[in-house]
A and B are shown apart, each in its own frame.
Chain A
Amino acid sequence: MEQPGELRFDRASDLLERHRTRLRTGCARMDEVLGGGLLDRGITEIAGEASAGKTQLALQLIFQVQLPRSEGGLQGGALFLHAEGGEAPVKRLRQIGSAFARRWSSAGATVDRLCDNVFIDRIETADLLMNALRYRVPTLLATRAVRLVVIDSIAALFRTHLDDDLPRRSELLHAIAAEMQALSDRMHVAFVVLNQITDSVDTPDTPDAACTAVPAVSKRAALGLAWSHCVNTRLLLSRAQARPFAPPRLQPQLAQLGGALAEQQPRPGARVELRTMRVVLSPCVEQRSCEYVIDADGVRDATDDETAHG
C-alpha cells in the first residue's frame, strides 16, 4: 500500500534508541529530574520571573550542546536569538564560557573556540522571528552544525501586541511554533524558548471556600493556554525560596586549618540564593523539582550544605 506523501511510519520499538538522546544541563540533579537532560528535539520552554536564571541556564546550554554525545552534548553549535531589550549578554556568555573551558580544558576547550560555535542574532518583533525561522535560520543550519536554537525571550516579542489583537497574535504564535517544530524535525535541532511569567489568581474549587479563602496567587507562564500546548516541555524557574546562606558551625575551625580551604566556602553572611526548577509539563517525565544555585561560573547543583543550612 502506497504511503501518503513523505510521511514515515515508525515502529515504537524503533524510536526507542532515537528518543534516548538528551542534552545534559550540566547540573546532575537537574538532569536526574529531567530524565537525563533536555530533549534533543521539539520545543523546551524555560519560564520564570526576571532574574530567576533563565538566560544563565540558556547560556550554559549553549556550551553544553558543544560537548560530544558521550558527555551529554549534541556535538554542535548554538544560535542565540536575542529579543529582550538591551544588549545581548555577550559578556556573561564569555564568563560562563571561561569557566566551562576550564572544566573541559583536558579536552582542548578554550573560550575562543567555544564562542566560535555560538551565533548571536537580534530579533525585534514577532514577524521578524517568523521571517528568521523561515529563511535565515534554515540557511545557517544548512551550513553550520548548529544543534540548539535559543530564543530569549518569546514573551518580549509579543509584549507589544495589544490584547484586542488576539486572533492575529494567536495565529502568529501557532505559526511560529509550527515552524520551529518543522525545523526541529527537518534539521535535527532543539529549540529552547525562554518565557516570562505572569501572576494569576486561582479561584478555590468549592463554592464554600470561595467565600472565605483568600485566592492564592500563582505564577503562570505568559502567552496563555494556547501557547502552552505548543511546547513539548515546560520548566519553571523561581527564586521564591531564596534565603541567605548561614555558614555551617564548623566554619571557624575550617578557617584555622587553612585559608585556601575557607575560600572554597562562601563567606559568612554572603547570600547564596537557592533557586528551584520545576518540571511543569513533559512528554516523558513526571512533575518534579530540584534546587540549583547560580554563581560566577554558571548554573550548578545546590550542595548539601546549602540545602540543609540555607
Chain B
Amino acid sequence: MAGLLAHSAGLSSEQAEALARAGVTSVCDALLVASVDSTATRAPSALGVVHADALKRLVEHCAPALVPADVLWVRRKAKACMVRTCTELDALMGGGVMTGEVLELAGRSGSGKTWLCLATCAHVALELRAHALFVDTGANFCARAFLEECSRVARALDLPDEQVAPALRRVRVVRVSDADEVAALLEHVRAARAAKADAWYSRLALVVVDSPALALMPLLARGNAGHAWIVTISRALRALTHCNLAVVVTNHLVGAEVALREGLIEDSARLALGSSWRAVSDMRVYLDAARPSGATLAAAPTAPCTAWLERSHRSGPREGSVRRAVAARRAPASDCQ
C-alpha cells in the first residue's frame, strides 16, 4: 500500500500497516477484499472489525460509489441557491445563476459588465443576506455606484432603506494587480471555505472576478506561459464552484484596429480569453450596448440557448433587453459630489 494513498484517504499509519499485513497492498487488493467482505455473509473477515472502517474509507476514496441522478438532484437542491442578477437577464438564464455555477459576462467596454457584477453582489447581500467577494483587477469597483445599485435593488425588493448599509458591509472588495495574485486569492478563498473556520467565508455565496482578462492579457503574448496561466486560473475558478459558490467572471471583446477601420467589426471582435478559457463557464452571456438584442445567451446548461439565439436575431428594439435595463437602472450619480 503506497503510504501516499493511505495518507490522502485519511488513514493513520497503523491502519495502513494493518492493511498491508492483511495482504492489502494495492487498490485492486482493497477493492477485492471489500467486495468479498460485503458478499460473504458469515465468513470471518480477513481484517479485524477495527480495520474494516479503514478499508471502507480507502475504497470510498479510490472508487467512490456511483450516485443516481435523482439523489444528486436532491442533494444539489438542498445545497444550492439561486443568485439573481437583473430581471431581464434572469429571465434569459432561467432564474439566475445557481451556486456551483460560473456565469461569464462578455462584452465590449461600456456594455455594462461591471454594472451587472455590482447588481449581482447587491442581490446576494440584500436578498440572500449572504456575503460576496468582488475581485477587482482593473480598479473598476466604485463604492458610490455600488451604493446606488444596492438602493435600487432594495427598492425593487421592497426592503427598507436601513438594510442597505448592512448589505454594504457584507460585500468585500480585493484589489489585485496580476495573475499571480488572482490565483493566490482564489486558492485562499477555496481553502478558507473548505476549512470552515472563518464565519465570513461560511456565509460567502458569490465570488465576482472583474476581470480575469485584464490580469491575464499582459501574459497572453508570451505563448505557452500565458496559456498555462489561463488554465491555472480557470481551474481555480472551477474549484470554487465545488465549494458551492456562485462565480461571475467578465470577459472582454477585443479586435484589431485594422479590422475596425475596414468595418468588419462584428466578425473580427473576439473574446480576449478564447478557446482555452471556454471550459470555465457554465453560462456565457454576450452583452452589447449598441445592438438592439442587448444580451445573447451563448452557452447554458439550464436554458435552451439556441432558441434564444434565434429569437435575439429577430427581436426588434422594442423587445425587453439588457441594454435597456442597463440604461434605465443606472440612476444619475447626483449625490456623488
B263 near A1 with CB under 8 A, answer no
Residue of A4, A10, A175, A232 with most chain B CB atoms under a 10 A cut-off: A4
Give the shortest distance, in Å, between A43 (CB) and chain B (any CB): 8
Query: Which 7 A-B pairs have CB atoms at the shortest separation, nearest pair first?
Result: A35-B336, A171-B221, A35-B333, A284-B142, A15-B143, A13-B168, A201-B263
Complex Cα distance A35/B218, Å? 31
A11 at the interface (CB under 8 A from B): yes
A203 at the interface (CB under 8 A from B): yes
Give the shortest distance, in Å, between A176 (CB) and chain B (any CB): 10
Contact of B174 among A8, A16, A32, A223 (CB under 8 A): A8
Q: What per-residue 1/0 map shows which CB atoms of A102-128 lie under 8 Å from chain B?
A: 000000000000000000000000000
B144 near A35 with CB under 8 A, answer yes
Q: What per-residue 1/0 map shows which CB atoms of A177-203 lie under 8 Å from chain B?
A: 010011011000000000000111111
Q: What per-residue 1/0 map shows which CB atoms of B154-173 lie under 8 Å from chain A?
A: 00000000000100110111
B286 at the interface (CB under 8 A from A): no
Complex Cα distance A20/B336, Å? 7
Residue of A nearest to B337 (CB): A36
B109 near A283 with CB under 8 A, answer no
User: Measuring CB to CB, which residues of chain B are less than 8 angstroms from any residue of chain A?
Assistant: 108-110, 114, 121, 133-134, 138-147, 165, 168-169, 171-178, 181, 184-185, 187-188, 191-192, 195, 197-198, 201, 211, 213-214, 217-218, 220-222, 252-258, 260-263, 265-266, 269, 272, 291-292, 327, 330-334, 336-337
Known A7-B174, A41-B139: A226·B254 in contact at CB below 8 Å: yes
Q: Which residues on the B side are within 8 Å of A12 (C-beta)?
A: 121, 134, 141, 143, 146-147, 168-169, 171-173
A22 near B169 with CB under 8 A, answer no
Complex Cα distance A280/B260, Å? 18
Give the shortest distance, in Å, between B147 (CB) and chain A (any CB): 6
Give the shortest distance, in Å, between A119 (CB) and chain B (any CB): 24
B291 near A205 with CB under 8 A, answer yes
A69 at the interface (CB under 8 A from B): no
Residue of A nearest to B314 (CB): A206
Known A9-B174, A229-B252, A232-B139: A224·B260 in contact at CB below 8 Å: yes
Contact of B109 among A10, A16, A199, A228 (CB under 8 A): A228
Residue of A nearest to B317 (CB): A205
- Interface of chain A: mostly helix, strand, loop or mixed: mixed
B178 near A16 with CB under 8 A, answer no
A167 at the interface (CB under 8 A from B): yes
Known A12-B168, A12-B173: A225·B142 in contact at CB below 8 Å: no
Give the shortest distance, in Å, between B286 (CB) and chain A (any CB): 14
Q: What per-residue 1/0 map shows which CB atoms of A1-31 lie under 8 Å from chain B?
A: 1011101111111011011101000000000
Complex Cα distance A198/B260, Å? 9
A16 near B195 with CB under 8 A, answer no
Q: Which residues on the B side are within 8 Å of A284 (C-beta)?
A: 142, 144-145, 333, 336
User: Measuring CB to CB, which residues of chain A are less than 8 angstroms from any residue of chain B?
Assistant: 1, 3-5, 7-13, 15-16, 18-20, 22, 32, 35-36, 39, 41-42, 163, 166-168, 170-171, 174-175, 178, 181-182, 184-185, 198-203, 205, 215, 220, 222-226, 228-232, 234, 280-281, 283-287
Complex Cα distance A3/B253, Å? 33
Give the shortest distance, in Å, between B312 (CB) and chain A (any CB): 11
Q: Which residues on the A side are within 8 Å of B257 (C-beta)?
A: 163, 198, 222-224
B169 near A11 with CB under 8 A, answer yes
B144 near A203 with CB under 8 A, answer no
Contact of B201 among A1, A163, A232 (CB under 8 A): A1
Give the shortest distance, in Å, between B109 (CB) and chain A (any CB): 4
B177 near A225 with CB under 8 A, answer no
Give the shortest distance, in Å, between B242 (CB) and chain A (any CB): 19
